[in-house]
A = this chain, B = another copy of it.
Amino acid sequence: MASDLVSQLSLKNGGKILLAVMDGVGDLPITEFGGLTPLEKAETPNMDRLAAGGALGQQCPVGRGITPGSGPGHLALFGYDPVKYLVGRGALAALGIGFQLKHGDLAARINFCTLGEDGVILDRRAGRISTDLCIELVNQLKEVSVPGVEVFVEPVKEHRACVVFRGAGLSEHIHDTDPGLTGEKPVPVTATDSDAVLAVSVVDEFINKSMAILKDKSPANGLLLRGFALHKDLPAMQDRYKLNPAAVALYPMYRGVASLAGMEQFQSDPSDLSGEVVAVNNALKAGKDFVFLHHKYTDSSGEDGDHERKVREIEKFDRVIPELLQCGFDVICITGDHSTPCPMKLHSWHPVPVLIHGGPQRTGWSSRFTEREAASGALGTFKGSELMPLLLAAAGRLAKFGA
């Protein structure tokens, strides 16, 4: 369906929406659980109640069989076609630290590394230097200038930093200079497409001047660039859906994607789920009518293959639901940005269960929020980017189409 249509039909007023994302929540049957998934194994009395009083379905973030990265997975949840609006790693890194990217900026991730005397990489992370040292090095790299463009170098964490080039005619079609393994030299800056001649020369000059500054330092005497990404403005949710959106997320990357869609960030204090609930409340008090809440640790436990911990993370999330219910949302949606099955220790393509509570729904079909119940739920199986119209409709924020 044309997102234009949803945009045309969006109404300025209506209910308040909470989109709660348990990152990577979908899973597979776990042998040790007798074939139950972590969602099935977990004790989730609050989600069970929401399931009974709401409607279930399952969504494929990008498409059938496609395993999404976190960027595409979240963009789909926010209603953006993740293929059309692909956001590269470099841009996500810059956005994640609050850097205000402009349309046409070229961003890349920096890893400080340790090089041997022959120039080969001894450690791709320079022994995970402290963030303080990272900041010190970045401050020196801020001196680097490249004619024709503005250069911004910003620290991220430990050995990670990022660089943004601002100027006309840049392209993201550049190979990573990080070969991905030790014992090799950094890859020379090369284009993957003919439109990147200017960008290659800019990046090359930046690397050469930076290497000259770093060469006598220890342990970080070199740098690797990867994830080149040209930033393209997204149509903000304010314009697209007439929403006033907010994001509550502990991790920079998710804040980054959210800010791309125009969401204002609300900081969590303390930096855990209880703090996130406070921030959600603050967002509503500040007049927001759409809040994206991100719970990271369901994904981390999936990536670690730790199904017991995933169950605990699901239960932890379940326990804050009563507080979330008291915030005053009209529509509450719980889903994930993709599945991260513990047996795979990776993101996967499996559909992600969705629960929508609030607004008129075909209720009473399910008594639990699980993959199995979701697959035969009232909402059916749909594309991730179709979730937003379902939430807007439930909140009374979509007009009728045609006569």
Contact = CB atoms under 8 A, between A and B. Distances in A.
Interface of A: 1-2, 5-6, 9, 28-29, 35, 37, 58, 60, 62-72, 82-83, 86-89, 92, 227, 341, 343-344, 346-351, 360-365, 371-372, 375-382, 386-394, 398-403
A67 B62 CA distance: 24
A65 B287 CA distance: 25
19 contacts: A1-B64, A28-B360, A37-B362, A60-B380, A63-B386, A63-B389, A64-B379, A64-B386, A65-B393, A65-B394, A67-B398, A69-B403, A72-B401, A87-B403, A227-B403, A348-B360, A349-B398, A351-B379, A365-B372
A361 B350 CA distance: 8
A388 B66 CA distance: 11
A9 B362 contact: no
A403 B28 contact: no
A294 B350 CA distance: 28
A29 to B, nearest CB: 6
A1 B84 CA distance: 11
Contacts of A350: 360, 362, 378
Given A372-B365, A377-B375, A381-B380, A5 B227 contact: no
Nearest to A363: B29
Contact of A398 (B6, B65, B401): B65
Nearest to A386: B64
Nearest to A397: B65
Contacts of A67: 393, 398-401
A380 B380 contact: yes
Contacts of A83: 1-2, 5
A118 to B, nearest CB: 32
B403 A89 contact: yes
Nearest to A371: B362
Nearest to A398: B65
Given A29-B364, A67-B398, A381-B382, A403 B88 contact: yes
Contacts of A72: 401-402
A227 B372 CA distance: 46
Contacts of A2: 83
A63 B174 CA distance: 39
A63 B402 contact: no
Contacts of A360: 28, 341, 343-344, 348, 350
Contact of A66 (B65, B341, B389): B389
B66 A1 contact: yes
A297 to B, nearest CB: 20
B386 A380 contact: no
Chain B CB within 10 A, most for which of A65, A68, A227, A362: A65
A69 B253 CA distance: 41
B375 A378 contact: yes
Nearest to A27: B362
Nearest to A87: B402
Given A1-B64, A82-B401, A87-B403, 12 more contacts: A1-B66, A6-B66, A29-B363, A35-B363, A37-B362, A64-B379, A64-B386, A65-B388, A65-B394, A67-B400, A88-B403, A381-B381
B349 A402 contact: no
Given A5-B63, A66-B5, A349-B393, A362 B401 contact: no
Given A401-B68, A403-B71, A1 B63 contact: yes
Contacts of A88: 403
Contact of A35 (B89, B361, B364): B364
